[in-house]
Amino acid sequence: MGIVISGLGHSASLAVNIASVGRWRLLRAEEKQFPDGEEYVRLRGSLRGADLYIVNSLYPPNDETLACLIAADAARSLGARRVTLIAPYLAYMRQDKRFRAGEAVSSRTVAGLISDRFDRLITIDPHLHRYKSLSEIYSIPTRVLHADKAIADWIGRKVKLPVLVGPDSESRQWVSQVAGLCDAPFGVMRKKRFSSTKVKSSGLDAKLVRGRDVLVLDDIISSGHTMAGVIEQALKLGAATAAGVGVHGLFVPGARKLLKGAGASRVVTCNTVANPTARIDIAPLIARAIGEDSK
């Protein structure tokens, strides 16, 4: 039967775009919740002998992860030859260590569940902090794609005098890569975290940002506190404008309001997670990976 694409949750529209780019068959999925909150999934079409790619960003993490596992089991029972999870945003990567006695290392738990039910995993810029690669916790073949070129292309089209700023030392390699692709200067700050919502970044060079359009780059925008602090500093140091750019826009309640209050001229993310800021399309990136994977 060949390649079949199916999207779950808020990633259904992304699946449509991927199928369109690759000219593959799109299989619609029906989802709902029973009155008691249990997940219902129906794959509406034949899967006998299919190479199925289930597209679903795992956000919100609990509902979407469970829906993926249920869909994978259904696909197997319906005769799919191979089932691959495309999780543009890969949840459950935060808890990568037992910090206190008795803590669950949930990244390993969820990796085990996904590995048990899928043949492959494709994701975009996962939050690899203490893990060098996904193969440390996933027992299936994994492929990591990068949104740097898509972001650089957007910057090249939309921003006149960009200067890129990374909020911490961990962002240096990624920010420098994007800066090189769009031929823009960049700087990296130092960050100290006091809690999940209280952080302080320092070390921004006034000469670098004065009169420029500052773009604060981060892989995940969740609470927005880190990005808001950098935006405020850039504007105080004379930046013409300051905006936020992220790969994955999670935006917990109040995050967008916080960024607007900090003076962000705009906030833009990739459509790895569906939200109003998702203006950078990564469907072609994923479609290219599927094409290469199927050869």
Residue 277 resides in a domain: no
Least confident of 4-18, 66-80, 200-214, 216-230: 200-214
Mean pLDDT, residues 131-148: 96
One domain, residues 196 and 60: no
131 and 178 share one domain: no
Domain count, the chain: 2
Spatial neighbors of 117 by CB under 8 A, at least 6 apart, are 68, 69, 72, 73, 76, 83
d(C-alpha 183, C-alpha 246), whole Å: 18
Taking all residues of the chain, what is their mean pLDDT, rounded to a whole number?
94
Q: Quick one: pLDDT at residue 169?
A: 83
Q: Which residue range forms the structural domain that includes residue 252? A: 148-271
* Residue 154 and residue 171 in one domain: yes
| Per-residue CA distances from 142 to 24, 43, 56, 90 (Å) | 22, 24, 15, 12
Give the model confidence (pLDDT) of 87-134 as tens digits: 999 999 988 888 899 999 999 999 999 999 999 999 999 988 888 899
The answer on 142 and 164 residing in a single domain is: no
**Type of residue found at 98:** R
Position 3 scores a pLDDT of: 97
Give the total residue count for the chain.
295
Q: What is the pLDDT of residue 131?
A: 86
189-242 pLDDT tens trace? 987 665 555 667 778 889 999 999 999 999 999 999 999 999 999 999 999 999
- 259 within some domain: yes
Q: Do 175 and 202 fall into the same domain? A: yes
Q: Is residue 286 part of a domain?
A: yes
- Identify the CATH number of the domain in which residue 14 sits: 3.40.50.2020
Known catalytic membership, residue 191: yes
In a domain, 159, yes or no: yes
211/66 same-domain check: no
Per-residue model confidence (pLDDT) at position 63: 94
* Same domain for 140 and 8: yes
Domain-located, residue 197: yes
> Could you give the maximum distance between any two Cα atoms of the chain, in Å?
61
Tell if the pTM clears 0.85, that is, is over it: yes
CA-to-CA separations, 78 to 41, 50, 83, 167, 185, in angstroms, rounded? 13, 10, 11, 47, 52
**Facing residues of 82 across strands?**
51
Residue 53 lies in a domain: yes
Q: What is the pLDDT of residues 263-290, one digit of tens each?
A: 999 999 999 999 999 999 999 999 999 9
- Which of 244, 285, 204, 208 shows the shortest CA–CA distance to 14? 285
Q: Are 4 and 27 in contact (CB under 8 A)?
A: yes
pLDDT of residue 137 exceeding 90, the answer is yes
Asked whether the beta carbons of 19 and 5 are under 8 A apart, the reply is yes
Q: Is residue 276 part of a domain?
A: no
Residue 198: predicted pLDDT: 64
**pLDDT at site 202:** 75
Query: pLDDT digits over 247-263, tens only?
Result: 999 999 999 999 999 99
Residues 204 and 217 in one domain: yes
* Pair (100, 215) in one structural domain: no
Alpha-carbon distance of 68 to 11, in angstroms, equals 12
Same domain, 209 and 119: no
The one catalytic residue in 97, 132, 160, 191 is 191
Q: Are residues 94 and 27 in the same domain?
A: yes
SS3 content of the chain, % helix, strand, coil (to 5): 35, 25, 35
* DSSP string covering 185-253: -EEE-EEEESSSS-EEEE---HHHHTTSEEEEEEEEESS-HHHHHHHHHHHHTT-SEEEEEEEEE---T
Does the residue 188 lie in any domain?
A: yes
Cβ(217)–Cβ(175) under 8 Å? Answer: yes
DSSP conformation class of 34: -
Q: Are 135 and 183 in the same domain?
A: no
Specify whether the CB–CB gap between 203 and 190 falls below 8 A. yes
